[in-house]
Chains A and B, each alone.
Chain A
Amino acid sequence: DQQVKQNSPSLSVQEGRISILNCDYTNSMFDYFLWYKKYPAEGPTFLISISSIKDKNEDGRFTVFLNKSAKHLSLHIVPSQPGDSAVYFCAASANTNAGKSTFGDGTTLTVKP
């Protein structure tokens, strides 16, 4: 049973437009959610996170929204840039779980010039 799901394997958007990446989770014990970005042949790098006590966190062009009742979060990138083309992983963790994170399968974002 996959506890973190990213149902869209890929997403293609035009440069300058908004990219919206979605993530669903099933475990109500999760209280932190993180997004990582991964380029080919590199390790994932942390992008942005949100605590379960918040419904929005913003960092520059990146905003994460959390809907606890729906167990759904989304990452908005606006405006999208070609350099944003990468695989984006959603991850969830519980504060009492030794920092262990459960990852989704990732969404490959392609931003076309």
Chain B
Amino acid sequence: NAGVTQTPKFRILKIGQSMTLQCTQDMNHNYMYWYRQDPGMGLKLIYYSVGAGITDKGEVPNGYNVSRSTTEDFPLRLELAAPSQTSVYFCASSSTSGGGQPQHFGDGTRLSIL
């Protein structure tokens, strides 16, 4: 009964380093999303995917890349970490694209860039 699993939970990076935030879901959901949440703010969509092999940009994609080779996994890549990317990152999935379908979220990755 894992749902959406994100790893790692915490990470500190130096400016210019790269890393991959992992996200996997076991609900066979086609739709997956990456958000970032800055302090006191709502969730901003970074990238999303409507199925394996298909990804598209969200509201704030600059500095990030994604891939979707399987239904289960949707990793988020930071290539050159910048202080502005310090945030909490949430991965989510949903079963269909219907507007009323709730999204299921992981518990987040807290990332600090120093």
Chain A: residues with Cβ within 8 Å of the partner, total of 30
Give residues 24-79 of B contacting A (CB, 8 Å).
31, 33, 35, 40-45, 48, 50, 56, 58
Tell me the total A-B contact number using a CB cutoff of 8 A: 76
Given contacts A4-B42, A9-B40, A43-B106, contact A99 B4 (CB under 8 A): no
Closest to B110 in A: A41
User: In this assembly, does A62 line the interface, its C-beta being within 8 Å of a C-beta of chain B?
Assistant: no
- Beyond the given pairs A94-B99, A98-B50, A99-B94, 14 more chain A to chain B contacts, judged by CB atoms under 8 angstroms and listed by A's residue number, are A41-B107, A42-B108, A43-B90, A43-B106, A44-B105, A49-B100, A51-B100, A89-B42, A99-B97, A99-B101, A100-B33, A100-B48, A105-B41, A105-B42
Which residues of A come within 8 Å of B, CB atoms? 4, 6, 9, 30-32, 34, 36, 41-46, 49, 51, 89, 93-101, 103-106
